[in-house]
Amino acid sequence: MTYLALARKWRPRSFEDVVGQPHVVRALANALTSGRVHHAFLFAGTRGVGKTTVARILARCLNCERGVTAVPCGECAACKAIEEGRYVDLIEVDAASRTGIDDIRDLLDNVQYTPTAGRYKVYLVDEVHMLSKAAFNALLKTLEEPPPHVKFLFATTDPQKLPVTVLSRCLQFNLKRLPGSLIVDRMARICQAEGVTPEPGALARLARAAAGSMRDGLSLLDQALAFGDGTLRDADVAEMLGSLDRSRVLAILAAVAGADATTVLQSVQALDELVPDYQALLDDIASALQQIAVLQIAGVEALEEVEALDEITALAGSMDAETVQLYYQIAVTGRRDLPLAPDPRTGFEMALLRMLAFRPADAAVASPRVAPATRRVPLSTGPAAAAAAVQRDAPSQELTGAKDWEGFVKSLALDGAARQLALHAECLSVGREELHLTVDRNSAHLLTEQLRNRLATAIGQRLGSTVRLRLEVREAAGDTPAARQEQQQGEALQRARAALESDPNVRDLTDLFGAELLADTIKPAEVPDADNGSASSRPRGRKPRE
């Protein structure tokens, strides 16, 4: 019996089966239901997202023997023939192999004739951007004024290469790359139907390798089932893809965060014996850094389902946000430059050494050139232990009392609304296990769960992850950095107004011309001091009105 690949066996047969493209399905279904069906459609998107599949479903909808409908019956002769690829009025053309004007002319010679068996004669042109300029020109006239019994369906992975004259004559639908969660869900349902019990980690690994393409994901699933002799285990999939266990990736990151160059180099040497895919390994490192950045900035609730969440959380507490961003950029750039390296291992190793060599000026971990031997974290200890070692040794901005709160806030890796929350908070007490803050009633709108988590994460980076943040609301405003700043601004404004009112030039204008000083336009400005170059507050106002 001939084996049918999973990507073909489980190809959607109706719009209800199409996943990840609701905007396309809805538009087509509404057009079919209302009878407003355009004569030319262009489906654009990356490989394996359903362009040709949607086009074939549309052809079935147009030629179903029960009438034009958004839900073809799937049982009539037309539906079955289209599904099996033998329908005479569905003409499929691969523009990658038939690019010339003669091919298009042969195709268009039959456009004028009515369909043989169906309601419409449907031309499905795949990879239409591969047609030559002359072929597009030959197609234009028919595309602009086609016979009423003809529909054109174009599919392309590169719509930018199509002439604007063609694009203007088509309804264009852009199909999106599929998120990993949708690919995992689809593969899980297929495995259930095929009688296979997969390990969750195996499906997630396959979905990451699919890179947004459902067809690639199902092809990899086919390959994994063959590799595992009908079973789907995470270890088998990792071996097939040449990827590594996630704990190894996180252990490398922990060693980098701990500035332990010796452990990093030993880890690379151990990994090289497994002959890994170094590009995929840099992808895994970049993916882990992205999850760490999301955790630091937006909190754990913003993360999708994450493998090894405890280790990711520990790493998020051992690195500041600037360092994570730098590491991510180095990983992405290292992946791009990997083909230029003398060999893949050298390129990968240099990317890690670059992370050790370059750090933001205020990074929490010392340079590896001065890191003591006690900072080294063996690979076997795991990311959690590495993060704990970094936390013990990392220098931090100490908060010894409530009076230090304003300076402490300035040292935190915060911006936007989270920084405003810190500035509008008053520090009541500081303990070894708890930091007690209050916010007045007028600033209570800042106390969202997301901003609380961002503030707690930033404080944990400075004081240690064991310090618990306690935030309360009280009626009256306290001694907050924002309140002190507002008071200082008010005092500076009063000084500026007094300086202008006592200025001799302003007095002369007032006395001679009856000029009026507009008090509400006066603003204090920081300008360089003429004597020593330092900044001092000087009044600034509009020209007096005469």
Question: 457: domain CATH number?
Answer: 3.30.300.150
What distance, in Å, lies between the first and last C-alpha atoms of the chain?
Answer: 99
Would you say residue 387 has pLDDT above 60? no
Is residue 498 situated within a structural domain? yes
Residues 166, 95 contacting (CB under 8 angstroms):
no
Check residues 89 and 244 and name the one with the higher pLDDT. 89
pLDDT of residue 182: 92
Residue after which a domain boundary falls, among 362, 393, 424: 393
Same structural domain for residues 37 and 165? yes
| Residue-wise pLDDT tens digits, 187-211 | 999 999 999 999 878 898 899 888 8
pLDDT of residue 244: 67
Same structural domain for residues 110 and 258? no
pTM (whole model) above 0.85: no
Same structural domain for residues 302 and 384? yes
pLDDT of residue 306: 67
Is residue 1 situated within a structural domain? no
Least confident of 11-15, 254-258, 284-288, 406-410: 406-410
The CATH number given to whatever domain includes residue 326 is: 1.20.272.10
Which range has highest mean pLDDT (60-69, 494-503, 515-524)? 60-69
Is residue 406 situated within a structural domain? yes
pLDDT of residue 473: 85
Would you say residue 98 has pLDDT above 70? yes
Residue after which a domain boundary falls, among 194, 211, 241: 241
Same structural domain for residues 440 and 492? no
Same structural domain for residues 22 and 125? yes
| Residue-wise pLDDT tens digits, 412-455 | 888 878 888 888 888 888 877 788 888 888 888 888 877 888 88
Least confident of 67-76, 232-241, 475-484: 475-484
The CATH number given to whatever domain includes residue 230 is: 1.10.8.60
Least confident of 59-63, 182-186, 355-359: 355-359
Residue after which a domain boundary falls, among 197, 222, 241: 241
Is residue 435 situated within a structural domain? yes
The CATH number given to whatever domain includes residue 138 is: 3.40.50.300
Residue 276 exposure: Cα atoms within 13 Å on the Cβ side: 24
Which percentage of the chain shows pLDDT scores above 90?
32
Same structural domain for residues 410 and 353? no
Same structural domain for residues 123 and 269? no
Same structural domain for residues 358 and 488? no
Buried b / exposed e over 274-309, threshold 16 CB at 10 Å, is eebebbbbbbbbbbbbebbbbbbbbbeeebeebbbe
Question: What is the rounded distance in angstroms from the CA atom of residue 483 to the CA atom of residue 423?
Answer: 8
Is residue 545 situated within a structural domain? no
pLDDT of residue 216: 92
Question: What is the rounded distance in angstroms from the CA atom of residue 199 to the CA atom of residue 188?
Answer: 10
Would you say residue 183 has pLDDT above 60? yes
- pLDDT bin (cut points 50, 70, 90) of residue 497 is confident
Count how many domains the chain has.
5
Take residue 360 and report the two structure tokens written for it. 């933001």
Same structural domain for residues 136 and 190? no
| Residue-wise pLDDT tens digits, 303-350 | 776 677 788 888 888 888 888 999 999 999 999 999 999 999 999 999
Same structural domain for residues 271 and 347? yes
Same structural domain for residues 21 and 167? yes
- pLDDT bin (cut points 50, 70, 90) of residue 273 is confident
pLDDT of residue 241: 81
Question: What is the rounded distance in angstroms from the CA atom of residue 477 to the CA atom of residue 498?
Answer: 29
Residue 429's beta-bridge partner residues? Answer: 436
Is residue 22 situated within a structural domain? yes
Is residue 546 situated within a structural domain? no
pLDDT of residue 334: 92
Is residue 142 situated within a structural domain? yes
pLDDT of residue 495: 84
Same structural domain for residues 46 and 194? no
Residues 114, 121 contacting (CB under 8 angstroms):
yes
Give the mean pLDDT of the chain: 81
pLDDT of residue 376: 33
Would you say residue 521 has pLDDT above 80? no
- pLDDT bin (cut points 50, 70, 90) of residue 525 is low
CA angle 65, 71, 75 (to 5 degrees): 45
Q: Which domain holds residue 490?
A: 483-540
Question: What is the rounded distance in angstroms from the CA atom of residue 180 to the CA atom of residue 287?
Answer: 13
Helix/strand/coil for 436 = strand
Take residue 235 and report the two structure tokens written for it. 């270890």
